[in-house]
């Protein structure tokens, strides 16, 4: 990449970050101004203000983490990890969140001894972002199935839901930074989760793909070389 191309990319990324932070900041200002109104429900306003602060913190954390990954400060593919315990813990920790969103979570593991060529932390990062994506965007009544299996000499980690889905033409773009499809534009999230997944998986020698259609759910497949 030439210096001019790098500068163009950096400027575009900075503009995108500024845009993404502007919305929660505007909401926060509105909430604080509402607190000065007569008969304001201060506990409720404070609770909503905390949500906006949490959203901004999450966005900044994701930006920093992705930046570290891209600059090589995190060694992604260092050894291997037995995947089943990591998947069980990560999914179990999100059952309550999923229930509040009206999304059912299921876990299917073909082989309890299956290995994935990732550090434990990186594998956990991948599964957490896959599940969070389904919880945020699947929609009430959806079921997300997280599966781990062998397929044609590879290891496949997949999160498949039967929820709101995305327009078919949008599916390949879900791994772009800050890209959000129709319904996702009205929901919260940093817009970086699947970009992080893509970077981690590809750094480990694998590849990712998303398949879906409007109203027919979304499948996100992470394919790793077998260890």
pLDDT band at 106 (very low <50, low <70, confident <90, very high): very high
What pLDDT sits at residue 27?
Answer: 80
Contacts of 155 (CB under 8 A, 6+ apart): 83, 114, 115, 116, 148, 149, 223, 224, 225, 226, 227
On the question of pLDDT at 75 being above 80, the answer is: no
Which carries the bigger pLDDT value, residue 45 or residue 69? 45
On the question of pLDDT at 171 being above 90, the answer is: no
CA 86 to chain centre: 17
For the chain, list the domains and their CATH numbers: 3-70 (1.10.287), 81-225 (3.30.565.10)
Selection from 83, 96, 166, 161 nearest residue 126 by Cα: 83
User: Within 13 A of 181's CA, how many CA atoms are on the CB side?
Assistant: 25
What crossing angle do the helices spanning 42-70 and 193-203 adopt, rounded to 10°? 20
Question: What single DSSP character describes residue 92?
Answer: H
Q: What angle do CA 23, 139, 163 make, to 5 degrees?
A: 130
What pLDDT sits at residue 89?
Answer: 93
Contact 183/139 with Cβ under 8 angstroms? yes
Note if the pTM is more than 0.85.
Answer: no
Mean per-residue pLDDT for 143-151?
A: 95
What pLDDT sits at residue 207?
Answer: 94
On the question of pLDDT at 120 being above 70, the answer is: yes
- What average pLDDT is seen over the chain? 81
Selection from 139, 81, 13 nearest residue 5 by Cα: 13
């Amino acid at each position: 990449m030439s210096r001019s191309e790098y500068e163009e990319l950096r400027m575009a990324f900075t503009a995108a970050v500024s845009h993404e932070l502007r919305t929660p900041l505007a909401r926060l200002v509105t909430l604080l101004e509402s607190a000065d109104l007569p008969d304001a429900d201060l506990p409720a306003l404070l609770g909503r203000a905390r949500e906006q602060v949490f959203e901004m913190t999450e966005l900044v954390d994701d930006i920093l983490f992705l930046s570290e990954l891209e600059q090589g400060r995190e060694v992604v593919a260092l050894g291997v990890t037995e995947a089943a315990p990591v998947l069980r813990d990560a999914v179990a920790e999100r059952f309550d969140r999923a229930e509040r969103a009206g999304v059912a979570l299921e876990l299917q593991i073909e082989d309890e001894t299956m290995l994935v060529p990732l550090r434990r932390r990186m594998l956990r990062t991948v599964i957490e972002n896959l599940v969070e994506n389904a919880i945020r965007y699947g929609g009430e009544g959806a079921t997300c199935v997280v599966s781990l299996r062998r397929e044609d000499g590879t290891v496949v980690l997949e999160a498949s839901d039967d929820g709101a889905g995305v327009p078919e033409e949008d599916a390949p773009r879900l791994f772009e930074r800050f890209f959000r499809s129709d319904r996702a534009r009205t929901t919260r999230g940093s817009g970086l989760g699947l970009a992080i997944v893509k970077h981690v998986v590809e750094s480990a020698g694998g590849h990712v793909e998303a398949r879906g259609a409007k109203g027919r759910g979304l499948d996100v497949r992470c394919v790793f070389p077998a260890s």
